[in-house]
Amino acid sequence: MKLLVIGGGGREHALAWRLAQSPRIQTVYIAPGNGGTALADNMQNLDISATDELIAFAKQEKIAYTVVGPEAPLAAGIVDAFRNAGLKIFGPTRAAAQLESSKDYAKAFMVRHHIPTAAYQTFTDPALAKAYITQQGAPIVVKADGLAAGKGVVVATDLAQAHEAIDMMLGDGSFGEAGARVVVEECLTGEEASFIVMCDGQHVLTLATSQDHKRLLDQDMGPNTGGMGAYSPAPVITPALHNRIMREVINPTLAGMAKDGNPYTGFLYAGLMIGDGPDATRPLKVLEFNCRMGDPETQPIMMRIKNDLTVVFELAVNGCLDQANIDWDRRTALGVVIAAHNYPGTPRTGDAIHSLPEDTPECVVFHAGTRLDGEELKTSGGRVLCVTALGDSVKRAQATAYAAVAQTQFDGRQYRSDIGWRALPGGAA
Ligand code: AMP
Ligand code: GLY
CA 415 to chain centre: 19
User: Is the CB of residue 401 less than 8 Å from the CB of residue 335?
Assistant: yes
Residue 147 has pLDDT above 90, yes or no: no
pLDDT tens-digit series, residues 181-222: 999 999 999 998 999 999 999 999 999 999 999 999 999 999
Q: Beta-carbon neighbour count of residue 195 at 10 Å?
A: 23
Mutation test residue for ligand 1: of 99, 101, 110, 153, the one with most atoms within 8 Å of CB: 153
Task: Write out the E strands in 209-355.
Answer: 211-212, 215-217, 221-224, 229-232, 265-274, 284-290, 332-339
370 lines ligand 2 (CB under 6 A): no
What's the whole-number mean pLDDT along residues 143-170?
Answer: 88
What is the C-alpha separation between 240 and 238, in angstroms, rounded?
5
- Place 429 in a pLDDT band, splitting at 50, 70 and 90: very low
Query: In a 3-state reduction of DSSP, which class is residue 66?
Result: strand
Closest CA to 295 of 229, 234, 346: 229
pLDDT tens-digit series, residues 162-182: 999 999 888 766 676 666 899
Return all residues near 127 (Cβ < 8 A) that are at least 6 apart.
none
- Looking at residue 148, what is its pLDDT? 78
Question: Which atom of ligand 2 lies at the shortest distance from residue 227's CA?
Answer: 1
Question: Which atom of ligand 2 lies at the shortest distance from residue 150's CA?
Answer: 5
212 lines ligand 2 (CB under 6 A): yes
What is the C-alpha separation between 97 and 398, in angstroms, rounded?
34
pLDDT tens-digit series, residues 234-264: 999 999 999 999 999 999 999 999 999 999 9
Share the mean pLDDT of the chain. Answer: 95
* Range with lowest mean pLDDT among 60-64, 89-93, 219-223: 219-223
Q: Which amino acid is at 353?
A: I
What's the whole-number mean pLDDT along residues 63-69?
Answer: 98
What is the C-alpha separation between 283 and 296, in angstroms, rounded?
26
What's the whole-number mean pLDDT along residues 17-41?
Answer: 97
What's the whole-number mean pLDDT along residues 129-143?
Answer: 94
Render the burial of 116-151: b for 16+ CB within 10 Å, e for the rest: ebbebebbeeeeebbebbeebebbbbbbbbbbbeeb
214 lines ligand 1 (CB under 6 A): yes
Percent of the chain predicted with pLDDT > 90: 91
- Relative to the alpha carbon of 187, which ligand is closest? 1
Please give the distance, rounded to the nearest whole angstrom, from the Cα atom of residue 287 to the centre of ligand 1: 6
Closest CA to 186 of 254, 137, 127: 137
What is the C-alpha separation between 193 and 114, in angstroms, rounded?
20
What is the C-alpha separation between 417 and 397, in angstroms, rounded?
13
What's the whole-number mean pLDDT along residues 144-155?
Answer: 83
Q: Which amino acid is at 105?
A: Y
Q: Beta-carbon neighbour count of residue 155 at 10 Å?
A: 16
Nearest CA to ligand 2 atom 5: 294
Q: Beta-carbon neighbour count of residue 111 at 10 Å?
A: 12
Residue 328 has pLDDT above 80, yes or no: yes
227 lines ligand 2 (CB under 6 A): yes
- Looking at residue 178, what is its pLDDT? 65
- Place 428 in a pLDDT band, splitting at 50, 70 and 90: low
- Relative to the alpha carbon of 145, which ligand is closest? 1
Question: Which atom of ligand 2 lies at the shortest distance from residue 288's CA?
Answer: 5
Beta bridge partners of 428: none
Q: Beta-carbon neighbour count of residue 216 at 10 Å?
A: 18
Please give the distance, rounded to the nearest whole angstrom, from the Cα atom of residue 185 to the centre of ligand 1: 10
Percent of the chain predicted with pLDDT > 70: 97
